[in-house]
């Protein structure tokens, strides 16, 4: 009996140790996210923080160059989105993008060796052109979400040809024939953070115009109604937000009143803008490139690989923990000036030149009159 008791105790201890091995050891770090007494705290494991910090280091910036000198569009052919940069700025940015996106293939990832750089032979060059414009638009138009640090190509790519975290329209996993799969109640899908929730929460809210709202303002439905299915989709999307940023619900919400914007953190507003930004990226920039993509760059239904919160954040509450790479690469901060803007700028320069010329002529005439008066006075 004694031997049996000892074996049982040892087995229990081994099982307990195995179960606890998946837990974070104390002490934990906590950060207050809202008013005291609301329980709005973020809890972090020091070990997990070390991994996050190590995964979010930024590469050293290439030394800055002058914006003076000939423009890239005047020297090189077929430069569409960066033609307004000086040759030095253009070359520097191309070198940086090569490091960020194709460090192994180098320039040959977008250009065929032996061909002129102006050729659009490879699909990667055409896609890269659109992705640069998408990045510039994010920094120019979505300051409510990316303001401060901004984004660059490295924010998502981090040395990979394609960002590690992308998604395509979901398809049912393998299931018995004769049954219609409801795209949920499977706990092995990373897209739903391994919960038995809908496995494609992205299509309704990051591609289509679904409204992520399920809570009404009254005890009984009046005006706004949400089905159980849409509620589960929203829950799955919120799980993605939490997992992508490495935070819990209280990063954005006061858990006593999830639906109250007044009692939520400012991050909730920032997240709303982020959802709209990602939706624009997927529809206006990424989807149009699908016609150029080979099959291995598409999903099972033939759609392009799209972005979500994890594409940039990759487990950090701010991409790259808030590192401001945009300060080193300001050429990605805004879209190229429209042709009309360039014409207006040229007209302004011409007007200034005319005004300077008129002033110079007036000064010369004034000086000539003074000389005449002086000469006249000496003659008398």
Higher pLDDT, 378 or 309: 309
Provide the domain count of the chain.
1
User: Is 14 a member of any domain?
Assistant: no
How far CA 15 is from CA of 7, 66, 87, in Å, comes to 12, 64, 65
Lowest mean pLDDT among 45-59, 256-270, 309-323, 332-346: 332-346
pLDDT in tens, 105-146: 999 999 999 999 999 999 999 999 999 999 999 999 999 999
Q: 123-141 and 87-101 helices cross at what angle (nearest 10)?
A: 110
- pLDDT value at residue 339: 67
Task: Indicate the pLDDT class of residue 300, thresholds 50, 70 and 90.
Answer: very high
Report the chain's terminal Cα–Cα distance, integer Å.
140
| CATH value at residue 152 | 1.10.468.10
User: Is 89 a member of any domain?
Assistant: yes
Name the maximum alpha-carbon separation found in the chain: 140
pLDDT in tens, 306-322: 999 999 999 999 999 99
Which range has highest mean pLDDT (9-23, 208-222, 224-238)?
A: 224-238
DSSP letter for 313, please.
H
pLDDT in tens, 148-188: 899 999 999 999 999 999 999 988 888 788 878 888 888 77
d(C-alpha 169, C-alpha 306), whole Å: 9
User: Is 218 a member of any domain?
Assistant: no
User: Is 255 a member of any domain?
Assistant: no
% of the chain beyond a pLDDT of 90:
57
User: Is 242 a member of any domain?
Assistant: no
Task: Indicate the pLDDT class of residue 342, thresholds 50, 70 and 90.
Answer: very low
User: Does 341 have pLDDT greater than 80?
Assistant: no
User: Is 143 a member of any domain?
Assistant: yes
Q: Residue 351 corresponds to which tokens in the numbers above? A: 């007007």
Cis peptide before 356 (omega within 30 of 0): no
User: Is 197 a member of any domain?
Assistant: no
- Give the domain range for residue 123: 56-161
Task: Indicate the pLDDT class of residue 242, thresholds 50, 70 and 90.
Answer: very high
* β partners of residue 41: 32
d(C-alpha 372, C-alpha 206), whole Å: 78
User: Does 236 have pLDDT greater than 60?
Assistant: yes
The H-assigned helical ranges of the chain are 2-20, 46-55, 72-75, 87-101, 123-141, 143-146, 153-157, 202, 228-245, 266-280, 309-313, 339-379
The H-assigned helical ranges of 281-338 are 309-313
Task: Indicate the pLDDT class of residue 347, thresholds 50, 70 and 90.
Answer: low
């Amino acid at each position: 009996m004694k031997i049996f008791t000892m074996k049982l105790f040892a087995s229990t201890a081994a099982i307990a140790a195995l179960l606890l091995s998946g837990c974070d050891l104390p002490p934990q770090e906590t950060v207050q996210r809202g008013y005291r007494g609301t329980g709005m705290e973020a809890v972090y494991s020091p070990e997990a923080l070390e991994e996050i910090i190590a995964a979010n280091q930024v590469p050293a910036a290439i030394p800055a160059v002058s914006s003076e000198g000939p423009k890239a569009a005047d020297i090189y052919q077929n430069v569409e989105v960066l033609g307004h940069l000086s040759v030095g700025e253009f070359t520097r940015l191309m070198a940086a993008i090569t490091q960020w996106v194709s460090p192994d293939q180098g320039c040959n990832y977008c250009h065929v060796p032996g061909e002129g750089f102006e050729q659009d032979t490879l699909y990667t060059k055409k896609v890269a052109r659109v992705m640069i414009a998408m990045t510039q638009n994010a920094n120019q138009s979505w300051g409510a979400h990316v303001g401060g640090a901004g984004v660059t190509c490295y924010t998502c790519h981090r040395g990979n040809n394609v960002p590690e975290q992308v998604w395509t329209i979901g398809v049912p996993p393998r299931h018995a024939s004769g049954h219609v799969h409801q795209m949920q109640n499977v706990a092995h899908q990373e897209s739903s953070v391994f919960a038995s929730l809908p496995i494609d929460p992205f299509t309704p809210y990051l591609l289509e115009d679904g409204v992520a709202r399920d809570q009404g303002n009254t005890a009984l439905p009046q005006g706004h109604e949400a089905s159980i299915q849409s509620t589960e989709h929203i829950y799955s999307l919120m799980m993605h937000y939490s997992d992508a940023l490495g935070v819990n619900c209280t990063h954005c919400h006061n858990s006593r009143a999830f639906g109250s914007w007044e009692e939520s953190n400012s991050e909730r507003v920032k997240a709303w803008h982020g959802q709209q930004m990602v939706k624009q990226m997927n529809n206006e920039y990424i989807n149009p490139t699908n016609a150029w993509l080979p099959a291995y760059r598409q999903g099972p239904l033939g759609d392009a690989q799209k972005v979500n919160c994890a594409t940039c954040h990759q487990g950090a509450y701010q991409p790259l923990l808030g590192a401001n790479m945009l300060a080193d690469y300001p050429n990605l901060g805004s879209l190229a000036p429209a042709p009309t803007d360039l014409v207006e700028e040229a007209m302004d320069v011409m007007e200034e030149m005319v005004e300077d010329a008129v002033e110079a002529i007036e000064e010369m005439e004034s000086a000539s009159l003074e000389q005449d008066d002086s000469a006249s006075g000496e003659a008398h």
